[in-house]
A and B are shown apart, each in its own frame.
Chain A
Amino acid sequence: MKYLFLIGRNLLRRKTRTTLTFLSIVVTFLLFGVLMMLRVAFSGGVDMAGADRLMMTNKVSLIQPLLLSYYERINATPGVDYSTYSSWFGGIYQDPKNGVFEFAVEPETYLRMYPEFKLPPEQLKAWLADKQGVIVGEDLAKKFNWKIGDTIPIQGTFNRPRGGDGTTWQFKLSGIYTGDQKTDKTQFLLRHDYLTESRRGSNGEGLTGWYLIKVKDPAQSVAISHALDKQFENSEYETKTATEAAVAQGFANQVGNIGAIVTRIAAVVLFIILLIAASQMSLAVRERTNEIGAMKAIGYTDGHIMTLILAESVTLSALAGFMGLGLAWVFGKFFAPSGGFLPVFYFAPRDIALGAGLAIALGLIAGAMPASAAMRLKITDALRKV
């Protein structure tokens, strides 16, 4: 404790240098935080996929449909708890760039499949009572300032309504779901039965985009997937079933290396900046060689000297690092650019912990070299130096 004063005085000796080193570490860790959030965002919610959920798509590609009549057969397959189906609606809200992605779902089973989507019971009741109703995530509702009861016009592309002007669908907002930070709160969910009844033409009749299947025992996922695909082999609509996590990972791979490249390049540079900060901190100690000699001469032990120097550099880098991480957290919380492209954007606790560890490690590494040099320093040499 009694050394705290000494550490503080040493840090404040050259205020400009300490401030600059401090600020550059703050910025580095802010950048670290932003990059980690970007990485999570680019991975497209792989983390939020449940291991006990399977996704069944057409074997040729996700854009090819499956028969709705598979529903009963899937549910009857041993090991399957329940299932639900969903289709890509492909509508546009005002401008394609708005990135509003609509899915047609079967309300009750879909919400049972995704318990992380929290919808107040009275809003669920309203949705079940109104075929024209839709629910949206709170992030999306906030973005366009939608209120419950609003009519939302969506321009159809390949799905076009029978009535009205023949291109624009009118949906009523029945509810707004919420969820924790890992949950994609940008979805726009309409009712599959409404789509089937109100769609013009016979395109897509008796078909659905894909199935989501809940298994009783996640350990059996692979076996159940095989059994399901086997059932529909050699039909016109062959299937491919995989865990939702695998599908999400596949998607992330498709968006591809871009996210990975961006983060990798920046990680290298982050490392460089850290080296620079470390070298600045070392410099600060080297300047004090004769002073350290004097301290040794009046009885400070080698251990004291080393502890003092390490404590100084760890204090500086930890304070600055935590501040940078804090700023990043604030950024993720309040200024997240979540939109169509990056639905989830948050600072994962795991990454915060990693950052905190890095900040302390930086201090130790930066302090280690000058500390060991100071420890080995002979009093006579140190005092001779000007």
Chain B
Amino acid sequence: MRSIKQAITVTLVSLYTIPQRLSSAVVAVIGIMGVVVVFVAVLSIGEGFKKAMTNAGKTDRAIVMRSGADSEMSSGLSGDAVDIIKQMPGVKHDGVVPVGSGEMFVVLDINRRSSHTVSNVPLRGVDATALAVRYDAKIAQGRMFTYGTNEVVVGRAANGQFEGINVGDTLKTGTKEWKVVGMFDTGGTVAETEMWCDVRVLQGVYQRGNSYQSVLVRLESPSSFDTFKDKLGSDPRVDVQIKRESDYYAEQSTGLTSLIEGVGYAIALLMGIGAVFGAWLTMYSAVVSRTREIATLRALGFGSGPVLISVMGESVFLALIGGAIGATLAYVGFNGYQASTMNWQTFSQVAFGFAVTPELLTRGLIYAVLMGLVGGIFPAVRAARLPISKALREL
């Protein structure tokens, strides 16, 4: 009980005296702040990308591609196969019409707004039931394209990242022209980086006859997936693979997400080591400059435990301040920051916003405390072990 009281008193004394050692304390705070900013900011890239990809996938939708294809890009399905797929049990119906969309997926070269360099922007040909299948998409500006024409609608994120695709613009690719008549919103998912047009028009433009690349169907309920998969998978007329849409996008996001997380953790670890040395130095000089004060406390009867705790306490306190400032800076500076990158599976661009989640902020603070603990431990032990008589004699 007494030593707890002592620990609190001594820790308060160290905290009160921080202003006297301000410049060295600032060094530790800034070091840890920097690490936390980088740690949180880099991980928020991976988090944002994952969010854009996984929110796009709904559990009550299934995507059907040719077996062996790893993405829509490398898939191909005949018109007959598409009809068979739509007729399978488990598919939701709107009256008598199955809610399924046979689709084509190509990329166009369009300039990025920021760098004016070419990017692969996906253009998806969709069926007349498209908006019923993609119930999360809303037309936010203009109108839906008219089937049978060369009109397109663009996603909000695509519009934000790429040039010349505002509502009202005419987009020239090769010898073809597309008229942008509307903009849609899917709540920031990967679909928003796409442009949509009538699949039959797209088939004509790309001389694909009556062939498609994938079918996206809306299921009666998430649980009808198994029925749908069993029936379709065992149908000898088609050779396809069936995936829940949520799984399909989750798989696509793993490659890049783990790369970013790997890079993020590696950089944060290295920088963390640097910051620990910084905190260590700060606490070490704090202990050195307070040698006589600590020795006096010891001579008055304060135990070595409370002294140790007070040094650790100060170190963690400084680390927390650094961590909190760092986390705030990361949040203010990076949350929602719009960027786009290449999704290698579909060879096309994905636009997404950096996501600084509460969970990431917590991780950043925990990391800061860890750095404070590690940086404080050796100086704390040194302070606790200070030989009283010798220390009192010191200048």
Binding site for B on A (CB under 8 A): 16-17, 20-21, 23-24, 27-28, 30-31, 34-35, 38, 58-64, 90, 92, 96-97, 99, 155-158, 160, 167, 203, 234, 236, 238, 240, 249-251, 253-258, 261-262, 265-266, 268-269, 272-273, 275-276, 279-280, 283, 337, 340-342, 386
Contacts and interface: CB of A to CB of B under 8 A. Distances in A.
Contact of A262 (B108, B263, B275): B263
Contacts of A158: 69, 74-76
18 contacts: A20-B277, A20-B284, A21-B277, A24-B278, A31-B274, A59-B173, A63-B73, A64-B106, A96-B70, A157-B69, A160-B68, A256-B342, A257-B114, A257-B339, A261-B41, A262-B264, A269-B37, A272-B31
Contacts of B168: none
Which 9 pairs between the two chains have the least Cβ-Cβ distance?
A157-B74, A24-B277, A269-B34, A27-B274, A253-B117, A60-B174, A96-B70, A256-B341, A158-B74
Nearest to A33: B270
A27 B108 contact: no
B174 A253 contact: no
A298 B316 CA distance: 46
A291 to B, nearest CB: 13
Contacts of B345: 96
A38 B342 CA distance: 17
Contacts of B38: 265-266, 269
B277 A253 contact: no
B67 A62 contact: no
Contact of B270 (A21, A27, A250, A272): A27
B280 A258 contact: no
A269 to B, nearest CB: 4
Contacts of A157: 68-70, 74-75
B342 to A, nearest CB: 5
A70 B207 CA distance: 19
A172 to B, nearest CB: 21
Contacts of B177: none
B281 interface: yes
B30 A97 contact: no
Contacts of B284: 16-17, 20
B273 A254 contact: no
A276 B45 CA distance: 28
Interface in B215-269: 254-256, 259-260, 262-264, 266-267
B24 A283 contact: yes
A268 B74 CA distance: 41
B54 interface: no
A155 B119 contact: no
Contacts of B23: 279
Contacts of A342: 259
A257 B352 CA distance: 12
A27 B395 contact: no
B370 interface: no
Contacts of B68: 92, 155-157, 160, 167
Contact of B175 (A64, A234, A265): A234
A253 B270 contact: no
A16 B206 CA distance: 70
The binding surface of chain A is classed by DSSP as helix
Contacts of A99: 255
Contact of A276 (B30, B255, B342, B347): B30
Nearest to B68: A167
Nearest to B174: A60
Greatest chain A CB density within 10 A among B30, B115, B270, B347 is at B270
B33 to A, nearest CB: 8
A62 B108 CA distance: 9
A17 to B, nearest CB: 6
B45 A261 contact: yes
A31 B45 contact: no
Contacts of A283: 24, 285
A266 B267 contact: yes
Contacts of A62: 107, 109, 120, 347
A33 B118 CA distance: 30
B274 A337 contact: no
Contacts of B34: 268-269, 272-273
Interface in B126-175: 173-175
A304 B27 CA distance: 30
Nearest to B109: A61
Contacts of B395: 386
Contacts of A253: 112, 115, 117, 119
A186 to B, nearest CB: 14
A166 to B, nearest CB: 8
B281 A258 contact: no
Contacts of B6: none
A285 B173 CA distance: 66
A96 B264 CA distance: 23
Contacts of B31: 272-273, 276
B63 interface: no
Contacts of B349: 254
Greatest chain A CB density within 10 A among B114, B264, B275 is at B275
A258 B175 contact: no
A90 B71 CA distance: 10
Contacts of A92: 68, 70
